[in-house]
């Protein structure tokens, strides 16, 4: 789309005509006879005949030169189609517990139970795909914490490596403190106000460093940690003799520590007892840590050089016409 950045410049177009009218009115009061000698009058008449023969071309050329100059002054600009601009979002690390306890089948979906890790994979995979514009990383922890995926814009890779994770790969214990320390190490050099960790676990810290100490270090580095406790509060199981009884499969979940970690770092603690609650939690985290809005840019290309080049070319043509007229007049005068 063509736009004129200074459209008021076109008000200058009638300026030469106004100047000509003012000059013409002033010249009408001058004496009609300007040449006292008859021979000079005849020569002037011959010159005017020659000039009038090309007058229309010179007037047209001058008019086009002026129009081209005004058009260049109006700054013609070509506005291109909107182009999306990548926006740098947050540096977001997903710390997921893959200890043996994540195999527990207590996440109820439509009357049937699925394992905690399968529910987490389904919900977190959908969360990952929504985080366009963020750098995502994946930490898997059990006996120790492992950086499975460094921070990247490649959401598909993060999702794939999450889906490939299996409980027990990192050991049977739960090293929440080590996972926090690894997250701090990866995020402390990133820009402030964009360092976020979402830590998900179903148990208590049974290995490694104290998670509260790690939370204090994270708070000093300006890293927010949202914690998620996953696991049902009750489940009906069959006894040895076929008797059914209710148990609490999340008895080992240390909610107090998870709450402290969130409070120390400025995050929030969430409790997910089933896949629906877990999905709602990650949607709420989307609101707490919103994805940057799409920004578009319309490229602009200045076109003023085109009318300016036209004015220069016409000026050269004007000069050639003047030279040609002078030579023609000189020849006519010499042989007349």
Domain boundaries, the chain: 2-25+38-80+299-335, 85-295
Output the pLDDT for position 113.
80
Instruction: Assess whether pLDDT exceeds 60 at residue 74.
Output: yes
List, in order, residues 6 or more apart from 9 with CB less than 8 Å away. 70, 73, 74, 75
Question: Which of 174, 165, 234, 243 minimizes the C-alpha distance to 202?
Answer: 174
- Label residue 37 by pLDDT band (50, 70, 90): very low
pLDDT surpassing 80 at residue 269 = yes
Q: At what angle do helices 255-265 and 176-187 cross, to 10 degrees?
A: 20
Range ranked top by mean pLDDT from 210-214, 239-243, 304-308, 318-322? 210-214
| Dihedral sign (CA 53, 58, 60, 61) | positive
Q: What is the pTM of this model?
A: 0.62
What is the DSSP annotation of 114-150? E-HHHHHHHHHHHHHHH-TTSEEEEEEESSSEEEEEE
Name the residue with higher pLDDT: 95 or 112.
Answer: 95
Share of the chain above pLDDT 90, in %: 28
Round to whole Å and give the CA distance between 187 and 218: 9
Q: Is 246 exposed, middle or buried (CB count within 10 Å of its CB: 0-12, 13-18, 19+)?
A: exposed
**Mean pLDDT score of the chain:** 81
Give me the architecture of the 85-295 domain, per CATH.
Answer: 3-Layer(aba) Sandwich (3.40)
Confidence bin at 39 (pLDDT 50/70/90): very low
- Give the range with max mean pLDDT: 3-17, 99-113, 187-201, 206-220: 206-220
The residue that leads in pLDDT, 132 or 142, is 142
């Amino acid at each position: 789309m063509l736009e004129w950045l200074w459209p008021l410049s076109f008000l200058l177009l009638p300026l030469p005509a106004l100047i000509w009218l003012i000059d013409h009115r002033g010249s009408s009061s001058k004496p009609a006879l300007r040449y006292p000698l008859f021979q000079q009058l005849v020569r002037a008449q011959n010159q005017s005949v020659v000039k009038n023969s090309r007058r229309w071309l010179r007037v047209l050329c001058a008019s086009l030169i002026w129009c081209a100059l005004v058009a260049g002054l109006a700054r013609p600009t070509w506005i291109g189609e909107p182009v999306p601009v990548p926006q740098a979002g947050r540096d977001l690390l997903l710390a997921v517990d893959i200890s043996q306890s994540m195999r527990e089948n207590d996440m109820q979906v439509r009357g049937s139970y699925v394992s905690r890790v399968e529910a987490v994979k389904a919900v977190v995979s959908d969360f990952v795909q929504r985080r366009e514009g963020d750098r995502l990383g994946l930490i898997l922890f059990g006996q120790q914490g492992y950086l499975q995926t460094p921070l990247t814009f490649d959401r598909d890779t993060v999702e794939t490596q999450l889906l490939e994770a299996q409980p027990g790969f990192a050991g049977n214990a739960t090293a929440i403190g080590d996972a926090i320390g690894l997250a701090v190490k990866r995020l402390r050099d990133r820009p402030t106000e964009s360092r976020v960790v979402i830590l998900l676990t179903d148990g208590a810290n049974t290995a490694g460093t104290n998670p509260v100490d790690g939370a204090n270090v994270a708070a000093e580095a300006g890293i927010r940690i949202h914690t998620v406790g996953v696991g049902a509060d009750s489940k009906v199981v069959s006894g040895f003799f076929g008797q059914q009884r209710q148990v609490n499969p999340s008895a080992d979940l240390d909610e107090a520590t998870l709450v402290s970690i969130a409070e120390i770092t400025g995050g929030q603690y969430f409790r997910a007892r089933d896949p629906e609650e877990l999905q709602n939690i990650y949607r709420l985290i989307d609101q707490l840590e919103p994805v940057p809005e799409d920004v578009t840019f319309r490229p602009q290309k200045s076109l003023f050089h085109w009318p300016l080049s036209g004015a220069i070319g016409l000026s050269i043509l004007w000069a050639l016409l003047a030279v040609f007229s002078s030579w023609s007049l000189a020849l006519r005068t010499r042989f007349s």
